[in-house]
Structure 1
Amino acid sequence: MIEIVLAVVAGALIGLSLGALGGGGSILAVPVLLALGQSATQATTGSLVVVGVTSLAGAVTARRAGTVLLARGAAFGAVAIGGAVAGAHLSATVPEPVLLAAFSALMLLVAGLMAARQLRSRRAAGPLDPAVERPGLDDPIITFSPTFMCQCPRALKVVVTATVVGLLTGFLGVGGGFLVVPALVLALALPMRYAAGTSLVVITITSAAALATRAGAGIAPDWGLVVALTLTSIVGSVVGARVAARADTARLSAAFTGLVLAVAAYVAVQALPALV
């Protein structure tokens, strides 16, 4: 009973983070599944289910709110599939203590990215005006008609970034939202709030690719816990997406940064004894 209650509470937080901030859900999903008795491999696999399904629900809600650029998200996600498949294969060859240590390091990186994002958001704070801030769709990176044109440095940046995000998704069972959001801002020049919504499309695609790869390896988490996490996470993502469209999420982001740091320390304590 306690396990289900913990899964429900954690699922709500995961969904709220994904819907409102465009990422961070798997940073909670993996440690929660570990705390509920799953192995590192089971936890990272179960996280892909939770985060992938929740991101899809959040993307639908964000699309209705007008904060998703579907074509750009789908293109970025398609490029990331190769990395996701390679990362999923690689995870099966790495000892679990190494997997946990890598996840802890990633959490520290995520906390740093979140803190930097908060500082940028405060400096550029202001109401969302779709007529002004919505990026135009007439600036493609590559075109073939009427003549071939390629913004090759920008295209290379997109390919490298998407591949790295895919690798992290497949290897650690994370959606990579807090890497996708800055990538969409820098590589595709999306305003922050559109990047958060569009990142949900990318996370859905990469999580599905990584999960499909792992499915053939016989890695099965506790599906009861995964379903409980997923259902409550979906509700949280819908609420979070609506919050992101109407309210300032700075306080939520700051609180989540502190939570990520605390969970990173917890995972590191578990991993380090097995490494030394």
Structure 2
Amino acid sequence: MAELGPLLGIGLFLGLVLGLTGAGGAILAVPLLMAGLGWEFPRAAALALTAVAASAAIGAWSGWRQGLVRYRAALLMATAGLLFVPLGLWLAQRLPHPLLELLFAAFMLAAAWRLHRQTLEAEVARGAVPLPAPERPEMLCTVNPATGRFRWTSPCALALTVTGAFTGLLSGLLGVGGGFVLVPAMRQVTDLSMHSAVATSLLFVALVSGGAVFWAAVHHGLPVATLAWPFVLSAVAGMLLGRRIAPRLAGPRLQRGFAGLMLLVALGMAGSALR
């Protein structure tokens, strides 16, 4: 019970960040749970995945209603991802905790850079920054305009399977949903729009993160079951609040500020692990 108050506060803050920025607020869950509650990395990562799964499921449902989700691609990647989640969890139980923290800090640095690049791309699209948009090469997976579905080929299926497997391994190892990895990867191998790639990745993240939570709770006895629901509900409440005030606050500057916050947290986490 002593942990419940700080846990609700952390969940509310994470949901608020997610609602305001539209990306990756749950990535801060692991360092905040470690710093605020004194938890070790595996326990914090397991609980963080519950917030990832819940928020991704809400986003995937919204994308599904808008017809943006490519569910066959998401299910193929999720199947491969779920097969590799146990390997990630197995490694997380055996690798030294400082090494895991360093790997997580490196992931946060990459995610911060990716978010910063997204803000620049958004400004380019609006003409605020006079930079030429990069040309996209021919993709392995292309959508048939007549049907709105992928043209399934062996290279396309293999690329999506490998992407899903690697992201699933990352989810089990570091307790992250993998959206920051999956979306850019899908943009590299498919010709989906950004909105469709994000919506498809959210379905993947919901399935794989949910599976990772299940594996962690059943096979490693991590105490996520009793604390998951209060944490998730507070995160959802924060996300709904963030969405209500986002039109007045959200924008490239806010996202850039969130990227800067991730950078600072990652550097602090790396310094703590090295000490």
Q: TM-score over 0.5 for the alignment?
A: yes
CA distance in 1, matches of 2:74, 2:32: 28
CA distance in 1, matches of 2:8, 2:74: 29
The Cα of 1:5 is off from its aligned counterpart by 5.5
CA distance in 2, matches of 1:135, 1:232: 41
Question: Paired residues, what number?
Answer: 258
Q: Which runs of 5+ in 2 are unaligned?
A: 128-142
Residue 207 (structure 2) aligns with: 205
Q: How does 1:127-142 map to 2 (within 5 A)?
A: 136=145, 137-142=147-152
Relative to structure 1, the CA distance from residue 217 to residue 120 in structure 2 (aligned partners, 3 Å threshold; closer, same or farther) is same
Which of the residues 156, 159, 166 maps onto 1:157? 159
1:40-93 deviation digits (Å, cap 9, x = unpaired): 111011111221122212322343455444443333322322222221222111
Corresponding position: 1:34 with 2:34: yes
The Cα of 1:244 is off from its aligned counterpart by 8.9
Give the conservation status (yes or no) of the 8 Å contact 1:57–1:237: no
What is the identity, as a one-letter code, of the residue corresponding to 1:180?
L
Residue 194 (structure 2) aligns with: 192
CA distance in 1, matches of 2:31, 2:75: 29
Indicate the percent of aligned positions where both proteins have the same amino acid: 33
The Cα of 1:208 is off from its aligned counterpart by 1.7
Relative to structure 1, the CA distance from residue 261 to residue 2 in structure 2 (aligned partners, 3 Å threshold; closer, same or farther) is farther
Once the two structures are overlaid, the 10-residue window that deviates more, 66-75 or 48-57, is: 66-75
1:83-121 deviation digits (Å, cap 9, x = unpaired): 222212221111111111111111111111212222223
1:101-146 deviation digits (Å, cap 9, x = unpaired): 11111111111121222222322349xxxxxxx984544242xxxx
Residue 59 (structure 2) aligns with: 58
Give the conservation status (yes or no) of the 8 Å contact 1:85–1:170: yes
Once the two structures are overlaid, the 10-residue window that deviates more, 191-200 or 57-66, is: 57-66
CA distance in 1, matches of 2:148, 2:65: 22
1:153-206 deviation digits (Å, cap 9, x = unpaired): 333322222221111101000001111221232223221122223322111111
Give the conservation status (yes or no) of the 8 Å contact 2:81–2:165: yes
TM-score (norm 1): 0.79
Relative to structure 1, the CA distance from residue 208 to residue 232 in structure 2 (aligned partners, 3 Å threshold; closer, same or farther) is same
TM-score (norm 2): 0.79
**SS in structure 2 of the partner of residue 92 of structure 1:** helix
Relative to structure 1, the CA distance from residue 62 to residue 155 in structure 2 (aligned partners, 3 Å threshold; closer, same or farther) is closer
Residue 131 (structure 2) aligns with: none
What is the identity, as a one-letter code, of the residue corresponding to 1:167?
L
CA distance in 2, matches of 1:125, 1:76: 33
Which of the residues 181, 184, 192 maps onto 2:183? 181
**SS in structure 2 of the partner of residue 195 of structure 1:** helix
Give the conservation status (yes or no) of the 8 Å contact 1:87–1:169: yes
Give the conservation status (yes or no) of the 8 Å contact 1:7–1:229: yes
Once the two structures are overlaid, the 10-residue window that deviates more, 185-194 or 94-103, is: 185-194
**SS in structure 2 of the partner of residue 216 of structure 1:** helix
CA distance in 2, matches of 1:184, 1:243: 30
The alignment yields a C-alpha RMSD, in angstroms, of 3.2
Residue 259 (structure 1) aligns with: 261
